[in-house]
Structure 1
Amino acid sequence: MGWLFHNDMLQSQTPAEYIAEQYSRETDVYKANVLATATVGGTIYAAIRNEFKGATAAYVFCGVFLFKNNKRDGFGYKSSDEAMGPCEVDCPDRIMRLLSPVEDIPDPGYAAEWRANVTAAKSRRLAARKQAASFRQGDTIRLRHPAQFGKTGISADAFTFIEYRKRTPVFAPLSHPHFLCRLSRATLATAVIERRAT
């Protein structure tokens, strides 16, 4: 499904509140209720309970919604669900815990693979956090691909760890030792760390 846009930004409710309202509905055939939502960056994850009238059991699946909400574009969203195997895999545990087992979902499609990807992404994030807390002054960090720093024109794939600022590691490119920068957790997750000899 493509993007659906309104001309104006949402102002009286959040994007997650809008999605919860739109996807909680009842017809002669089924009833849907959004149990909970979580917003991560530009993505809303929603635990949606579906109940088909006359069926023996209801089930809960994950809806995944990309959204924009700004003055230039207005409000827009693109809907998918776990059965479609979306690329977005940062679904919080509190939403995952509400979902029915995959075998209880009619036509689960790629749901099992998507849930496995969510688990793998969580493991990578935890490893990156652990790694980011373990740097020592003078460690060298080598990236798979050079990092670009916008209008500065600086591009580098090797950095020295300088210090922590509010628990955030700060680096300097080996080629520009006076330029201080931060590197994303995703970038650090695939980096090679060369420990400074002590």
Structure 2
Amino acid sequence: MGWSFAHKEKGVSVKQFFEEEFGCTNKETGVYYKVLDCAATFTEAYLAVETGDASGPKEVFAVVCLLSYRPKDYFNFGYKDMSEDMGPYYYNCPERILKLLTPTENKLALEWREKCWERIRAKKARPKLREGMIIQFVEPLQFSNGVKENIFKLEDLRRLIVTDRWGFRYRIRRKSLEKPFKVLDDFPAAERKLA
């Protein structure tokens, strides 16, 4: 499915927008759709959507929406929606949304849910970061100046400022912290910066 653009009033949350956009009831059949919960970042939104009718069982499924903003246009808010049974390649769905979903037998939806759970388990298994901690990534990070480095001391967690073993400072992306790393007690002795 392609992108849809609409006007979103200032002060309307992403959740409120999608509740209005996806919530509906067919008066003839009684089938309804209702957004139970929404978790959004700047680029992605994950929704738990309930469907059913007055007589039958209810089903809750996930919808992934990619988000786009055009603040200078009247149609200032865009989204590309994909249901979980389309097998979207976005796995940042939070645990609270996944727990609302009802069981399914759809293969693509099951694979998508498992990859989301894998990401959640991996995130929980990571050590809690704190300033002054030395971390070593399995694969080096490459910076815009061409430098590749994999061992850093965390200087500022809020702005993600790190120092390499030679004392050079870098700013890393939050997404980099999703890559595998381990915590070290100190910089390796043979490679420590000379005083």
TM beyond 0.5:
yes
Partner of 1:132: 129
1:25 aligns with 2:24: yes
Q: CA deviation at 1:131?
A: 5.5
Letter in 1 for 2:148: A
Picking from 164, 171, 175, the partner of 2:162 is 171
Q: 1:142 to 1:24 in 2, by over 3 A?
A: closer
Letter in 2 for 1:124: A
Letter in 2 for 1:98: L
Q: 1:191 to 1:147 in 2, by over 3 A?
A: farther
- In the superposition, the TM-score normalised over structure 1's length comes to 0.75
Q: CA deviation at 1:135?
A: 6.4
Partner of 2:193: none
Q: How many equivalent pairs are there? A: 184
1:93 aligns with 2:95: yes
Residue by residue over 1:130-176, the C-alpha shift from the partner in whole angstroms, topping out at 9 and shown as x without a partner, is 1634964xx46245243224xxx25322333154x3577642234x6
| Kept in 1: contact 2:63–2:83 (CA 8 A) | yes
Q: CA deviation at 1:116?
A: 0.5
| Kept in 2: contact 1:23–1:32 (CA 8 A) | yes
| Kept in 2: contact 1:127–1:189 (CA 8 A) | no
Separation in 2 of the partners of 1:134 and 1:124? 21
Picking from 148, 162, 178, the partner of 1:156 is 148
| Kept in 2: contact 1:4–1:76 (CA 8 A) | yes
Partner of 1:141: 136
SS in 2 for 1:35: strand
Q: CA deviation at 1:82?
A: 1.0
| Kept in 2: contact 1:161–1:169 (CA 8 A) | no
Separation in 2 of the partners of 1:78 and 1:140? 37
Separation in 2 of the partners of 1:134 and 1:98? 35
Q: CA deviation at 1:191?
A: 3.4
Unaligned runs of 5+ in 1: none
Unaligned runs of 5+ in 2: 190-195
Partner of 1:3: 3
Q: CA deviation at 1:46?
A: 1.2
SS in 2 for 1:132: coil
Q: CA deviation at 1:126?
A: 2.1
- Give the alignment of 1:111-126 within 5 angstroms: 111-126=109-124
Separation in 2 of the partners of 1:89 and 1:71? 27
What root-mean-square deviation, in Å, do the aligned CA atoms of Structure 1 and Structure 2 show?
Answer: 3.1
